[in-house]
Amino acid sequence: MYGLFLILLFYLLGCLISALIGNFVPGSVIGMVLLFAALSFKWVRPGAVKRVSTFLLDNMMLFFVPVGVGLITSYTLLSRYMLAIIVASLVSTILVIAVVGLVEQKLESKKDSAKNEKEENARTH
Amino acid sequence: MQELINSQIFLLTLTVGVYLGAIQLRRKINCALLHPVFVSILVLIGFIRLTGIEYEHYMQQTQIIDFMLGLSVVALGYILHDQIYNIRGNVISIVMAILVGSAVGIVSVALIARWMGAEPAVVASLEPKSVTTAIALSVSANSGGIPALTSVVVIVVGVFGGIVGPWVLKKIGVESRIAKGLAMGAAAHALGTARAMELGAVEGAISGLAIGLMGLATAVLVPILEKIM
């Protein structure tokens, strides 16, 4: 219950800040950053939110369903722009994959990635 | 009978039940198009049509599920903290790659859609397409989009990105494991991460991190880029 309280509290703080900056960034996203900061500065123990976070993230797909059913109200819009929606989304997705992959590979320091890989192997074995 | 069908307890039980059924179906028949969220949405739309329930009524009664979406975005902060050891020494390159990727994603999808004649509400619905649905929905609603349209587009993009991602990365010669994981998570959120996990542990972890970073970058960049475009 304490974990749920913390998640709710950070969500509330996020919404508060979001309202103060004119809803520029969603309150939930600010809440995410605040939770991350609180964990990093050790104000909150990771163990305190681990169970509730895992529960929420494991079942995240369910939470999209009611909103998705709302498609029933925008069905005409969807069918009218079907082609534009599909082409734009798919082309843009390939661009994002390529750009992120190439930029990261170009900029990342070779030594560090080799080291990370070694550490990761040590972790998994 | 009609009263029962309209009740909150019935609609909540139905929604969760249909979702669990869709997950079982996916386990039995492994086909990308049978994504549990797709299937659930279609079945529930069919049910609402048949029984004549108003969508507004359905949404009101199932609001608690929608509320959990916001909570799960906050919970991503925990995953971000959990994964952070993976990026020591690469913080700058990762932040740069995500910022550039996020901007390219927003601008390209907006320009192509606009060029193909889509109206502003549709364009706004597409802009956060690469981001995990929970964040995408808030960004879409904030910028005048249609959350329902965004939710479906996000899933389509995730399924597509998960399938073509490894192939695209191979074609353009990306070999770094960090770069591969980052690209998969950045473009195709949790569905890209699921695929990245199959590529390797490093790819999977970095991909999980990319979901959070991409969500953050997109939430900040969409309102800024909209002013410019």
pLDDT, residue A58, reads 81
Torsion of CA B93, A27, B129, B99, to 10 degrees: -20
Max Cα–Cα distance, chain A, nearest Å: 54
Shortest CA gap B112–chain A (Å): 5
- Per-residue pLDDT tens over the stretch B131-181: 988 789 889 988 899 988 998 899 889 888 988 999 999 999 999 999 999
Q: Which residues of B touch A64 (CB under 8 A)?
A: 37, 69, 133-134, 137, 151, 155
The tokens of A98 are what?
């390529």
- Per-residue pLDDT tens over the stretch A1-32: 899 999 999 999 999 998 898 776 778 888 98
Listed by start position, the domains of chain B span 2-61, 87-228
| Nearest residue, CB atoms, B139 vs list A26, A49, A95 | A26
Q: Given a cut of 60, is residue A116 above it in pLDDT?
A: no
| Gap between the Cα atoms of A70 and A23, Å rounded | 23
Residues in chain B: 229
Report whether A52 contacts B75 (CB < 8 A): yes
Smallest Cα–Cα separation from B81: which of A113, A71, A40, A14?
A40
| B178/A108 Cβ within 8 A | yes
Q: Is A57 part of the contact surface with chain B (CB cutoff 8 Å)? A: yes
| A93/B161 Cβ within 8 A | yes
Angle, helices B201-228 vs B63-83, to 10°: value is 120
Shortest CA gap A1–chain B (Å): 14
- Per-residue pLDDT tens over the stretch A57-98: 888 778 878 888 888 887 788 888 999 999 999 999 999 999
* pLDDT < 50 stretches in chain B: none
| B219/A25 Cβ within 8 A | yes
Smallest Cα–Cα separation from A71: which of B114, B66, B44, B51?
B44
Residue with tokens 């060029």: B115
Residue B186 CA to its chain's centroid (Å): 10
Listed by number, the residues of chain A in 63-122 with a beta carbon closer than 8 Å to a beta carbon of chain B are: 63-74, 77-78, 81, 83-105, 107-109, 112-113, 115-117, 120
The tokens of A100 are what?
């992120």
Q: Which CA distances in Å does B67 have to B25, B59, B70?
A: 26, 11, 6
